Amino acid sequence: MQTNEQLLSALPADSTLAGRTAVVTGSSGGIGEAVARVLAASGAEVLVSGRDPERTRAVVDSILAAGGLAHPLTADLTAEPADVRAFARDAEAALGGRVDILVNNAGVYPGSRTADVTDDEMQALWATNIRAPHVLVARLAPRMAERGSGAVVNIGSWMARVGVPYKALYPATKAAIEHLTRAWAAEYGPRGVRVNTVAPGATDSLGNAKNADLLVEMAKGTPAGVPVRPVDVAHAVRFLVSDEAALVHGATLDVDGGIAATRLR
Ligand SMILES: NC(=O)c1ccc[n+]([C@@H]2O[C@H](COP(=O)([O-])OP(=O)(O)OC[C@H]3O[C@@H](n4cnc5c(N)ncnc54)[C@H](OP(=O)(O)O)[C@@H]3O)[C@@H](O)[C@H]2O)c1
C-alpha cells in the first residue's frame, strides 16, 4: 500500500474544481494539508491556513510546485469570534473576493479521562472544534447562498458514534459538528449550499505522530486493518465538494476503515 506522501506527491491533475476557490482550515499539516493538496490538484485555488507560518508556507509551496494555485494565511482559530470573522474576510480577499468551498478541518483532540481534562483543554476543544466552524459558516455560507452555490465540509470523527472509555469531550464536539452539518444543510441547502461531514477513523496524521503504535493497534480490529491516511480523507472531501455530489446534503461519509460500523470479533 502506498504511503500518504507517495500519493500526495504524485496526484494526477484534473479540472473537477477548476475556477473554484476553497478555504481549508488547519491545512498546515495532517488531514487538512492532504485536503488542500488534493483540492488544488483538481483545479481549486486554495487558501492554506494554520498557526505555524513556516508549515503553512511549505504546503503552499508544494501546491505551487505541483502547478496548483494556493495562498497562505496564518490564524489562531481559538481567537475571539471577531478575529475569526477577520480571518474569513482576509481569506475571502486573498481568494479574489469569493469563497466557493469551506472545509472546517482544524481541530484538536486533547484530553483523556474525564476527570483529567483541564480547563484549557475544555476551552480549546470548544473554540477550535465548534465555535470557529460556526463563525466561519455564519460569515461565508450566506454569501455562497446569495450566489446560489457553494459547499461546506466539516471534518467529524468516528468517535462521534462510539463511546470509548478514554475520551468523552472530544467525541462530543464531533457529534456537535455532525449535527451542525445537518442543521446547516437544512438552512442553506435550499439556496444551493451543500453541507456534509467526512468522519475519519484513526488517521496517521501530524497530530498522531506520537501515537503510531496505538493507531496500528486500533486498526487491527477493523476491516481495513491499517490506519487511515490523510489522503484517503481528502479524496472523500473532494467528492463531496464536487458536482458529482450534487444531491448529497447533510450526510456523514465515514473514511474510517470500518472502525465505527463493524466488529470483527
Ligand atoms: N488524526 C485522527 O486520527 C483523526 C480522526 C478523526 C478525526 N480527526 C479530525 O481531523 C481534523 C484534522 O486532524 P489531524 O489529525 O490532521 O490534526 P493535526 O495533524 O494535529 O493537524 C491539525 C491542523 O489544524 C491546525 N490547527 C490546530 N489548532 C488550530 C488553531 N487553534 N488555529 C488554527 N489552526 C489550528 C494545525 O495547524 P498549526 O499546527 O499550524 O496550528 C494543523 O494544520 C481534526 O478536526 C480532527 O479532530 C482526526
Distance 146 CA to ligand 1 centre (A): 30
On the question of pLDDT at 265 being above 90, the answer is: no
pLDDT mean over 47-57:
98
Residues 141-170: pLDDT tens digits? Answer: 999 999 999 999 999 999 999 999 999 999
Average pLDDT value for residue range 105-123: 95
Residues having CB within 6 Å of any atom of ligand 1 = 26-32, 50-52, 55, 75-78, 105-109, 128, 155, 157, 200, 202-203, 205-208
Pocket test for ligand 1, best of 28, 169, 259 (most atoms within 8 A of CB): 28
Kindly report, residue by residue over 67-112, the tens digit of the pLDDT.
Answer: 999 999 999 999 999 999 999 999 999 999 999 999 999 999 997 8
The Å distance, Cα 50 to ligand 1 centre, comes to 9
User: H or E segment at 261?
Assistant: none
Starting from the edge strand earliest in sequence, which strands make up the sheet with 69-74, in order?
Answer: 69-74, 45-50, 21-24, 101-104, 150-155, 193-200, 252-255
Question: Is residue 227 within 8 Å of residue 205, measured between CB atoms?
Answer: no
Instruction: Tell me whether residue 113 is in a domain.
Output: yes
Residue 263 lies in a domain: no
Q: Is the pLDDT score of 195 beyond 90?
A: yes
Mean pLDDT along residues 23-37: 98
CATH of the domain at 115: 3.40.50.720
Q: Name the band, by pLDDT with cuts 50, 70 and 90, for residue 175.
A: very high
**Is 170 in the active site?**
yes
Which residues are CB-contacts of 180 (< 8 A; sequence separation ≥ 6)?
130, 133, 134, 137, 154
| Domains of the chain: total | 1
- pLDDT attached to residue 112: 85
Given a contact cutoff of 8 angstroms between Cβ atoms, the answer to whether 70 and 63 are in contact is: yes
Side chain identity at 247, as an amino acid letter?
L
Residue to probe by mutation, ligand 1, list 126, 203, 232, most atoms within 8 Å of CB: 203
Is 8 part of a structural domain of the chain? no
Q: Which three cell numbers stand for residue 14?
A: 484534473
With a cut of 90, say whether residue 173 has pLDDT above it: yes
Range of the domain at 107: 17-254
Q: Indicate the helix (H) or strand (E) that contains 135.
A: helix 132-147
247, three cell numbers: 444531491
Q: Cβ-count burial of 81 within 10 angstroms (0-12 exposed, 13-18 middle, 19+ buried)? A: middle
- 21: in domain: yes
Residue 230 lies in a domain: yes
With beta carbons less than 8 A apart as the criterion, state whether 73 and 48 touch: yes
The answer to whether position 9 is within a domain reads no
Instruction: Report residue 195 CA to chain centroid gap.
Output: 12
